[in-house]
Amino acid sequence: MKSNNYLNVIGLSLIIILIGMNEKMIYLSSISKMAINFIILILGVGIATINLKMLIGKNREEKLQL
């Protein structure tokens, strides 16, 4: 449980840092910005997947206890 929380915090921090970098890098080409946006997308999907697995696992445990 704690490891999922740590992964969420690290992933969210990376997303915030990358968004800030993307906004400040006006001089970069659109391909570089697209690459950064793709990394942000992958991190977001990864965090969502981890959270969904955690929620599904909790639901299964609750059903087994009933």
Residue with tokens 């950064």: 36
Q: What is the three-state SS of the chain?
A: CHHHHHHHHHHHHHHHHHHHHHHHCCCCCHHHHHHHHHHHHHHHHHHHHHHHHHHHHHHHHHHHHC
- pLDDT per residue as tens, the chain (66 positions): 566 777 778 878 888 888 887 777 777 778 887 888 888 888 888 888 888 888 788 777 767 676
Residue 66 confidence (pLDDT): 61
Q: Give this prediction's pTM.
A: 0.66
Rounded distance between C-alpha atoms, residue 22 and residue 6, angstroms? 24
